[in-house]
Amino acid sequence: MTDPLEADLDSLALPDSSYFLTQVGSRQLAFPATEIAEVILVDRSQVLSLPFYQPGLLGVVHVQGQLVPLVTLQFLLEGASGVTREVFNAVQLNTSSQLAGIALVIDQLVGNCTAVQLAQDSTIEQFNPEIVPAELWQPRRWMPLVV
C-alpha cells in the first residue's frame, strides 16, 4: 500500500506540471518548464541578421560561446513586423525540446502556472513547436533583376 503523503509529494515533483507564462503580442503563451534552458536578455546591437532568410528568423546572437538563432514569435503568430525594442527577452529552449537550442523572442515573462491552471484558463495557449515552419531554416534564393 502506498503512503498518501508520498503519493502527494510525487505528484508535486512531476517536472512537466510547471509552465512559464509569457506575453507575445496579444497572446499569453505557456512553455513547459522542462523545455526552457534559460530566459536571455538580448541587446539588438548584438544580433547578427540573416538577410536571405524568412522574416520570422530575426538572426543569431552569441550566447555562452554558441550562436543561437532568434525566432520572432509575434511574426509567426500574428504577422507583426517583429522586434522594435533595443533590448528584448527571449526564451532559449533546451535539448528536450523539438526546437533545441533556438531562442524565441517574447514581449515579457509574466510568471508561471501549473498544468491544472493551464487547463482551466482558456486565455492561455500552450506553445506548440509546430508553429515554427521548417522553411524558416532555408535561405531564400537571391534572384538578380532581369532588365
In a domain, 41, yes or no: yes
Range of the domain at 29: 14-129
Specify the pLDDT at position 67: 93
> What CATH number is associated with residue 104?
2.40.50.180
Domain-embedded: residue 97: yes
List the beta bridge partners of residue 39: 91
Q: What angle do CA 10, 16, 18 make, to 5 degrees?
A: 95
pLDDT digits (tens, 9 = 90+) for 48-98: 999 888 889 999 999 989 999 999 999 998 887 666 789 999 999 998 888
pTM: 0.81
Nearest partner of 80 among 26, 21, 41, judged by Cα:
26
How many helices (H) and strands (E) the chain has is answered by 3, 9
Q: What is the pLDDT of residue 13?
A: 44
Is residue 9 situated within a structural domain?
Answer: no
Nearest by Cα to 59 from 74, 44, 46, 49: 49
Residues near 56 by Cβ (< 8 Å), separated by ≥ 6? 71, 72, 75, 76, 132, 133, 136
pLDDT at 2 over 70: no
Indicate the pLDDT class of residue 147, thresholds 50, 70 and 90: low
Q: Is 107 a domain residue?
A: yes
Residue 4 resides in a domain: no
| Mean local confidence (pLDDT), 124-139 | 90
Q: What is the total count of domains within the chain? A: 1
Grade residue 137 by pLDDT with cuts at 50, 70 and 90: confident
Tell me, what's the pLDDT at 14? 43
Reported as a single tens digit per residue, the pLDDT across 8-53 is 444 444 445 899 999 998 899 999 999 999 999 999 999 999 988 8
